[in-house]
């Protein structure tokens, strides 16, 4: 079947793309578009054309199978120029997503109409690229520079309503898109074909100072990523030197970025996120249906899991120890959902429906019909055994029972549970309703049905699910424990907390290790250290500075004192008292302190990550190196444009 077909309705031609699943701009699509335009131009009975797509979406990106292949004519920039040169006006009829090259194709059309639920965007920066088919040149000639810069440098799609408000669309379709596009075409049959965007003036032209401000703002947000700044350079070149020069400049930058290490890293993590949960042994196994989710514990983590489950469309029951705790759990969920309401992510009707789908109870019998239950209580094995004993008694036999433990042995939990084959780990990251990462922990007894159900649950929650085996800390926390230990060694050897954090931020982390600990609460890792103390090798180097801070009542940002001192606005400042404590510990141990450069600090941290990553792979805890990179990027702030610690190792060899 042809990927592009041409049909006629009176004076209107319909160019239809059917290249599932995303109607990508493959070679056959590009060639088909050119052929269709040639036929339309040669047909004197046709006065307008509508470009529309079959399936769930408009053109939503490039054909990934062509990545790294030599370009095959006609290339997309030439196809878009051919669209602009059409002698009959072409209307892009957009539904689903118009992304990347898809939006660039729409910009090459003379008019754009979209379904009200459509999303439009230029997400190339997420792959370390800039638009390569005229997006940086045409978009600023249709919308303001500020809107164009925002769309291109953030990579975030915008809604059809927003696109219409800023001038990107000519109309919003009310009713069936095909009918609305046909009706719109009827209104422009007697008009002259609009001049192409490349022949128009920019909507506005910033002065030199404004360009400096735009660049400085983008640089701050980019945190070392080069594509956003290259995009601004391309936009500015197109405005100041004209469209032809701008198009050539954009293409040159696009090709250079495509071959860069950053783009390779971003493409690596992009594909890894989409493949990491595809386990061959689970292929063809259907998940259990999920309608009702139970959550044990309504604290910060439990309430976050409950919120995420509600937003995914499930009925949720929170089990707590008493009615006051139930009320607190419900209030926390309501606070989370109120935030979504204020940000416009849900409307009032949806908010009311979600709150109605939430129930609380102190009786485990309320989970009799639950399809999946997530335990999120205190990290104590005795408490976990008590919870799973009650779940075994009250839940139906095929209900999947999951623990959100960060460190405890889920094999031990499962061994003491009725039907241990349905016990797994679901390690959420805080805040659970926001963070995308979810470690799906496979116990020794977990069956395929339970695992497939867990992955389907993760998909419904919008999470990136990473399978892993059972060990202390699984993938992420095990690696973090290792590099935290080496950071603590550096404290005793001569570095200060703010120096290590500064090196990490310079490398591309959103915040440093010690600032992150302060945000999470120092008592959490303190409890883990105390739990593991009886098993610690006496000959192993141990740094007690974190223990001292907790003993001093310094638990982090929550009480204004941790590794840092926090002002009334929550802003962190290095604390001379902590620095003195660190230096005194070195003196007490007879360690001669030395200076560390940022490069030396990062070499230590990355080395620790890689060493533990190699052990995790050799032990079979992670299915592949990509899984480790996905965890570190999505759960621990490892800079996406560097691909992850394992990618950095392989790419440097």
State the pLDDT confidence band at 531, using cuts at 50, 70 and 90: confident
- In this structure, CATH architecture of domain 282-468: 3-Layer(aba) Sandwich (3.40)
Burial (0-12, 13-18, 19+ Cβ within 10 Å), 312: middle
b (16+ CB within 10 A) / e for 434-469? ebbbbbbbbbebbbbbbbbbbbbbbebbebbbbbbb
Percent of the chain residues topping a pLDDT of 70:
99
Q: How far apart are CA 423 and CA 487, in angstroms?
A: 35
Range 570-593 average pLDDT: 96
Is the peptide bond preceding residue 104 cis, with omega within 30 degrees of 0?
no
* Residues 6 or more apart whose Cβ sits within 8 Å of residue 222: 153, 228, 229
User: With the CA atoms of 402, 404, 409 and 415 taken in that order, what torsion angle do they form, in degrees rounded to the nearest 10?
Assistant: -20
Residue 158 bridge partners (DSSP): 120
- Token pair, residue 647, equals 């990618």
Rounded Cα–Cα distance for residues 599 and 621 (Å): 30
- The pLDDT value recorded for residue 235 is 97
- The pLDDT value recorded for residue 47 is 96
Listed in order, the ranges of the chain carrying CATH 3.90.226.10 are: 4-259
Q: What are phi and psi of 97, to 5 degrees?
A: -125, 135
If you average pLDDT over residues 620-642, what whole number do you get? 96
Quick: pLDDT tens for 423-465: 999 999 989 999 999 999 999 999 999 999 999 999 999 999 9
pLDDT, tens digit (0-9, with 9 covering 90-100), for 489-503: 999 999 999 999 999
Q: What is the distance between the alpha carbons of residues 563 and 518, in angstroms, rounded to a whole number? A: 7
Query: In the structure encoding, which two tokens stand for residue 503, read together?
Result: 């090196």
- Return the DSSP state at 203: S
With H, G, I as helix, E, B as strand and everything else as coil, classify residue 189: coil
Token pair 């606070």 is at which residue? 335
pLDDT at residue 257, as a whole number: 95
Q: How confident is the model at residue 65 (pLDDT cuts 50, 70, 90)?
A: confident
Nearest Cα residue to 361 out of 353, 351, 369, 349: 369
pLDDT per position as a tens digit, 377-407 = 988 899 999 999 999 999 999 999 999 998 8
Helix (H) or strand (E) holding 402: strand 400-403
Question: Which residue, 287, 223, 286, 236, is CA-closest to 637?
Answer: 223
163/119 Cα distance (integer angstroms): 9
Phi, psi of 557 (to 5 degrees): -60, -30
Q: Tell me the CATH number of domain 476-620, given options 3.40.630.30, 1.10.1040.50, 3.30.428.10, 3.40.50.300.
A: 1.10.1040.50
Do residues 166 and 303 make contact, with C-beta atoms less than 8 angstroms apart? no
Instruction: Note the pTM of the prediction, 2 decimals.
Output: 0.90
Q: CA-to-CA distance for 431 and 302, rounded, in angstroms?
A: 10
Return all residues near 262 (Cβ < 8 A) that are at least 6 apart.
128, 225, 226, 227, 641, 642
Mean pLDDT (whole number) for 353-365: 97
Q: How would DSSP label each residue in 40-85?
A: HHH-TT--EEEEEE-TT-S--S--GGGTTSPP-SSPHHHHHHHHHT
Q: Quick one: 4-259 is in which CATH superfamily? A: 2-enoyl-CoA Hydratase; Chain A, domain 1 (3.90.226.10)
Give dist(CA 130, CA 128) in Å, integer: 7
pLDDT at 651: 65
Query: For position 472, what pLDDT does the model report?
Result: 87
Report yes or no: 451 and 278 within 8 Å, Cβ to Cβ: no
Q: Give the CA distances from residue 259 to residues 30, 247, 252, 267, in Å, rounded to whole numbers and listed in that order.
A: 23, 19, 11, 11
Range with lowest mean pLDDT among 18-27, 356-365, 515-524: 515-524
Beta strands, E only, 130-277 = 158-159, 171-173
What are the start and end residues of each CATH 3.40.50.720 domain in the chain? 282-468
Cβ–Cβ < 8 Å for 605, 258 = no
To 10 degrees, what angle do helices 625-635 and 261-275 make? 100
Residue 123: the pLDDT is: 96
Q: Decide if 497 contacts 491 (C-beta within 8 A).
A: yes
Confidence at 652, pLDDT banded by 50, 70, 90? low
- Specify whether the CB–CB gap between 514 and 480 falls below 8 A: no
Average pLDDT over residues 512-528: 89
Give the model's pLDDT for residue 124.
95
The one catalytic residue in 104, 147, 273, 626 is 104
Looking at the chain, the domain(s) classified CATH 1.10.1040.50 span 476-620
Residue 600 contacts by C-beta under 8 Å, 6 or more apart in sequence? Answer: none
CA torsion angle 171 177 180 185 (round to 10): 80
Give the DSSP letter of residue 132.
Answer: S
User: For residue 1, what pLDDT band results from cuts at 50, 70 and 90?
Assistant: low
* pLDDT (0 to 100) of residue 653: 55
Whether 104 sits among the annotated catalytic residues: the reply is: yes
Rounded to a whole number, what is the largest CA-CA distance in the chain?
92
What digits encode the pLDDT tens for the residues 155-187? 999 999 999 999 999 999 989 999 999 999 999
Q: What tens digit of pLDDT does each residue of 196-236 get?
A: 999 999 999 999 999 999 999 999 888 889 999 999 999 99
Alpha helices (H) in 462-544, listed in sequence order: 476-493, 497-507, 513-520, 522-532
Which of 84, 124, 488, 626 is flagged as catalytic?
Answer: 124
Mind listing the pLDDT tens digit for each residue in 325-351? 999 999 999 999 999 999 999 999 999
> So what's the pLDDT on residue 505?
95
Tens digit of each residue's pLDDT (9 = 90 or more) over 247-280: 999 999 999 999 999 999 999 999 999 999 999 9
């Amino acid at each position: 079947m042809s990927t592009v077909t041409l049909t006629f309705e009176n004076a209107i031609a319909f160019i239809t793309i059917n290249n599932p699943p995303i109607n990508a701009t493959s070679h056959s699509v590009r060639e088909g578009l050119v052929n269709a335009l040639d036929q339309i131009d040669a047909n004197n009975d046709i006065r307008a054309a509508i470009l529309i797509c079959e399936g769930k979406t408009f053109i939503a990106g490039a054909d990934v199978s062509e990545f790294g292949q030599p370009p095959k004519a006609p290339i997309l920039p030439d196809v878009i120029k051919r669209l602009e040169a059409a002698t009959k006006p072409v209307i892009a009829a957009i539904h689903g997503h118009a992304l990347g090259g898809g939006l660039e194709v729409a910009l090459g059309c003379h008019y754009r109409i979209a379904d009200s639920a459509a999303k439009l965007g230029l997400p190339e920066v997420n792959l370390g690229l800039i638009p390569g088919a005229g997006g940086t040149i045409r978009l600023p000639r249709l919308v303001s520079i500020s809107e164009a810069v925002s769309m291109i440098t953030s990579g975030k799609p915008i809604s059809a309503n927003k696109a219409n408000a800023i001038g990107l669309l000519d109309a919003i379709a009310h009713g069936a898109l095909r009918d609305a596009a046909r009706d719109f075409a009827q209104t422009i049959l007697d008009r002259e074909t609009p001049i192409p965007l490349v022949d128009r003036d920019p909507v506005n032209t910033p002065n030199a100072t404004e360009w400096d401000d735009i660049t400085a703002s983008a640089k701050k947000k980019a945190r070392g990523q080069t594509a956003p700044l290259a995009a601004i350079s391309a936009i500015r070149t197109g405005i100041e030197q004209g469209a032809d020069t701008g198009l050539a400049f954009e293409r040159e930058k696009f090709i250079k970025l495509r071959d860069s290490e950053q783009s390779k890293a971003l493409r690596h993590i992009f594909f890894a996120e989409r493949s990491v949960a595809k386990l061959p042994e689970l292929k063809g196994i259907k998940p259990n249906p999920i309608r009702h989710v139970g959550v044990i514990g309504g604290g910060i983590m439990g309430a976050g899991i409950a919120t995420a489950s509600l937003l995914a469309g499930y009925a949720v029951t929170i089990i707590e120890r008493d009615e006051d705790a139930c009320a607190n759990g419900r209030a926390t969920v309501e606070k989370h959902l109120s935030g979504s309401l204020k940000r416009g992510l849900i409307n009032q009707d949806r908010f009311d429906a979600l709150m109605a789908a939430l129930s609380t109870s102190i009786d485990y019998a309320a989970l009799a019909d639950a399809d999946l239950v997530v335990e999120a209580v205190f990290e104590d094995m005795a408490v976990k055994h008590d919870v799973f004993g009650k779940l075994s008694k009250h839940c139906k036999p095929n209900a999947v029972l999951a623990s959100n433990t960060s460190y405890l042995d889920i094999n031990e939990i499962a061994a003491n549970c009725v039907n241990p084959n349905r016990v797994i780990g679901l390690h959420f990251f805080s805040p659970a309703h926001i963070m995308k990462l979810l470690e799906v922990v496979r116990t020794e007894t977990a069956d395929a049905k339970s695992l497939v159900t867990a992955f389907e649950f993760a998909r419904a929650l919008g999470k990136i699910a990473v399978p892993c085996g059972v060990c202390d800390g699984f993938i992420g926390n095990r690696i973090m424990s290792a590099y935290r230990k080496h950071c603590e060694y550096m404290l005793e050897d001569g570095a200060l907390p703010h120096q290590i954090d500064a090196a990490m931020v310079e490398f591309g982390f959103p915040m440093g290790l010690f600032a992150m600990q302060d945000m999470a609460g120092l008592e959490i890792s303190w409890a883990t250290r105390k739990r593991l103390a009886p098993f610690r090798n006496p000959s192993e180097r141990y740094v007690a500075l974190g223990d001292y801070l907790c003993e001093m009542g310094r638990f982090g940002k929550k009480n204004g004192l941790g590794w840092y001192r926090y002002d009334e606005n929550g802003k962190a400042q290095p604390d001379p008292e902590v620095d003195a404590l660190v230096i005194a510990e070195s003196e007490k141990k007879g360690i001669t302190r030395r200076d560390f450069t940022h490069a030396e600090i990062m070499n230590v941290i990355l080395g620790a990550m890689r060493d533990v990553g190699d052990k995790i792979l050799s032990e079979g805890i992670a299915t592949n190196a990509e899984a480790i990179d996905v965890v570190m990027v999505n759960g621990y702030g490892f800079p996406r444009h560097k691909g992850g610690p394992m990618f950095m190792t392989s790419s440097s060899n």
